Amino acid sequence: MKPLIRSCAPLAALCLLVSLLSACGPVVVPPPPAPGISPQQRLAAVHAAAGAEDTELNVQPLRDPQVEDLREQAARALAGGDAEAAGEALNQALLVVPDDPAVLQERAEVALLQAQYERAETLARRAYDVGSKVGPLCRRHWATIEQSRLARDQAENAASAQAQLRTCTVPGVTRY
């Protein structure tokens, strides 16, 4: 009987350790990389992270008409399934307004759709750097970074992007 008790000691110690750790509060584990997720599903996750725009502060700059035309052209191309044409239209828009965070973000999302994950992260980071640090666009920046990192099997770095994403929400003004 004594050998059985000796062999159970490590198991008992492990159980004790797990129960002590669980008493400290919930352990947040970042989601594992999901290599089977398509670029379209990654883009859908980015759009879902943006949330509702009418419930909080959302900064919108004045737009150049030429840039708006190019953005609409890109949207039509995406609706038609032509990510390459959408990317080209947004590249042209960036030649006109190289520091427009919305155009940078839209181009990052097209790069994500094209499975150009490093480029998507670079563009989203640049958009965040020049844009507002709050609101739906901010969440799209960080969700794009998160998805591009997950696609490259960087789960730990993706978790830090997820943490940044949560800092983008600021309640809007309540009107009476």
Residue type, 88: E
Tens-binned pLDDT, residue by residue, of the chain (176 aa) = 555 445 445 444 434 333 433 444 333 333 434 557 899 999 998 988 887 655 665 666 677 899 999 999 999 999 999 999 999 999 999 999 999 999 999 999 999 999 999 999 999 999 999 998 988 999 999 999 999 999 999 999 999 999 998 888 876 666 66
Answer for the pair 114, 83: CB distance below 8 angstroms, yes or no.
yes
In a domain, 66, yes or no: yes
Q: Which residues of 33-50 are buried (b: 16+ CB within 10 A; e: fewer)?
A: eeeeeebeebbebbeebb
Structure tokens belonging to residue 5: 């008790």
State the DSSP code for 81.
T
The tokens 């998160």 sit on which residue? 146
CATH number, position 94: 1.25.40.10
Residue type, 64: D
What is the domain extent for residue 50?
35-166
For residue 143, CA distances in Å to 3, 76, 95, 97 come to 53, 23, 25, 23
In a domain, 102, yes or no: yes
In a domain, 176, yes or no: no
In a domain, 69, yes or no: yes
Give the separation between CA 21 and CA 165, rounded to whole angstroms.
27
In a domain, 151, yes or no: yes
In a domain, 107, yes or no: yes
Number of domains in the chain: 1
Answer for the pair 96, 112: CB distance below 8 angstroms, yes or no.
no
Q: Would the pTM of this model clear 0.75, i.e. be above it?
A: no
In a domain, 174, yes or no: no
